[in-house]
Structure 1
Amino acid sequence: MIEVVGATKRYGDRVAVDDLTFTVKPGIVTGFLGPNGAGKSTTMRMIMGLDAPTGGDVRVNGKHYAEHTAPLREVGALLEARAVHTGRSAYNHLRAMALTHGIPRSRVDEVIDLVGLGDVARKRVGGFSLGMGQRLGVAVALLGDPATLVLDEPVNGLDPEGVRWIRHLLRSLAAEGRTVFVSSHLMSEMALTADHLIIIGKGRLIANTPMAEFTEQASGKVVRVRTEDSARLRELLAGPEVSVTAVERGVLEVHGLSSTAIGLVARDNAIALDELTPVVASLEEAFMDLTKDAVEFGVHDDTERKAS
Structure 2
Amino acid sequence: MIRAYGLTKRYGEKTVVRDLTFTVRPGTVTGFLGPNGAGKSTTMRMLLGLDAPTSGRSTIGDRAYASHPAPLRQVGALLEARSIHPGRTARAHLQALAHTHGIPRRQVASVIDRVGLGEAADRRVKGFSLGMGQRLGIAAALLADPATVILDEPVNGLDPEGVLWIRNLLKSLAAEGRTVFVSSHLMSEMAVTAEHLIIIGRGRLLADTTVEQFVRDAGLGEITVVSPEADRLRALLAGPDVRIEAADGRPDTLRVTGADGERIGRTAAAHGIPVFELTPRRASLEEAFMELTRDAVEYVAHDDDPTTPQPTPTSQHATASQGAAT
TM-score by length of 2: 0.87
- Aligned-residue offset at 1:100: 1.9
Displacement of 1:294: 1.3
Please name the residue that 1:105 is paired with.
Answer: 105
Matched, 1:56 2:59: no
Report the RMSD for the aligned CA atoms in angstroms: 2.2
The separation in 2 between residues aligned to 1:242 and 1:299, in whole angstroms, is: 29
Distance in 1 (alpha carbons) for counterparts of 2:145 and 2:221:
44
CA distance in 1, matches of 2:196, 2:177: 15
Counterpart mapping for 1:177-188 below 5 A: 177-188=177-188
> Which region of structure 1 is more displaced relative to structure 2, 253-262 or 45-54?
253-262
Task: Report if aligned partners of 1:233, 1:271 keep a CA contact under 8 Å in 2.
Answer: no
Distance (whole Å) between structure 1 residues aligned to residue 147 and residue 177 of structure 2: 8
Q: Does structure 2 retain, via aligned residues, the 8 Å contact 1:17–1:203?
A: yes
2 CA distance for matches of 1:305 and 1:168?
46
Contact 1:242–1:257 (8 Å) recurs in 2: yes
Query: Alpha-carbon deviations, 1:100-138, whole Å to 9, x = none?
Result: 222112211111111110000010010000000001111
CA distance in 2, matches of 1:261, 1:174: 43
Corresponding residue SS for 2:17: strand
Percentage identity across paired residues of the two chains: 63
Task: Measure how far apart 1:229 and its partner are.
Answer: 2.5
Deviations 1:232-280 (A, max 9, x none): 333455679765433433221233555577567667836252x443211
Distance (Å, rounded) in 2 between the aligned partners of 1:20 and 1:278: 34
Contact 1:33 1:197 in 2 (8 A): yes
Deviation at 1:27, TM superposition (A): 1.3
Q: Does 1:119 align with 2:123?
A: no
Amino acid at match of 2:120: V
Cα shift at 1:38: 1.0
Q: Distance in 2 between matches of 1:272 and 1:20?
A: 48
Give the Å deviation of 1:292: 1.6
Q: Is the 8 A contact 1:246 1:252 kept in 2?
A: yes
1:196 aligns with 2:199: no
Who is 1:80 aligned against? 80
Partners of 2:83 and 2:179 in 1: CA distance: 24
On the 8 A contact 2:233/2:273 being kept in 1, the answer is no
- Unaligned residue ranges in structure 1 (runs of 5+): none
Return the alpha-carbon distance in structure 2 between the equivalents of residues 258 and 90 of structure 1: 58
**1:271/1:93 CA distance change after superposition, 3 Å:** same
The change in CA–CA distance for 1:117 and 1:283 in structure 2 (over 3 A counts) is same
Quote the offset at 1:220 in angstroms. 4.2
- After superposition, give the CA deviation of every residue in 1:280-307 in whole Å (9 maximum; x if it has no partner): 11222221221121122222232x4366
Q: Secondary structure at the match of 1:155?
A: coil
| 2:289 equivalent in structure 1 | 287
2-side partners of 1:19 and 1:155: how far apart? 29
Give the whole-Å Cα distance in 2 for the aligned partners of 1:300 and 1:254: 28
Amino acid in the other structure paired with 2:147: A
Tell me the distance in 1 between the aligned counterparts of 2:46 and 2:237. Answer: 53
Residues of 2 paired with 1:238 and 1:210: CA distance? 36
Residue equivalent to 1:25: 25
Unaligned 5+ segments in structure 2 are: 310-326
User: CA offset at residue 61 of structure 1?
Assistant: 0.8
Q: How far off its partner does 1:198 sit?
A: 1.0
Distance 1:297 1:270 in 2: 48
| Distance in structure 2 (CA, Å) of the matches to 1:68 and 1:223 | 53
Alignment partner, residue 135 of structure 1: 135
Deviation at 1:71, TM superposition (A): 0.9
| TM-score (norm. length: structure 1) | 0.91
1:9 lines up with 2:12 in the alignment: no
Helix, strand or coil: the match of 1:137? helix
Change (3 A) 1:170 1:256: same
Q: Decide whether aligned partners of structure 1 residues 267 and 90 sit closer, same or farther in structure 2, where only a CA change above 3 A counts.
A: farther
Note the C-alpha offset of 1:199: 1.1
Q: Which residue of 1 aligns with 2:36?
A: 36
SS at match of 1:174: helix
Aligned to 1:305: 306
CA contact (8 A) 1:32 1:197 kept: yes
CA distance in 2, matches of 1:243, 1:298: 27
The total of aligned residue pairs comes to 306
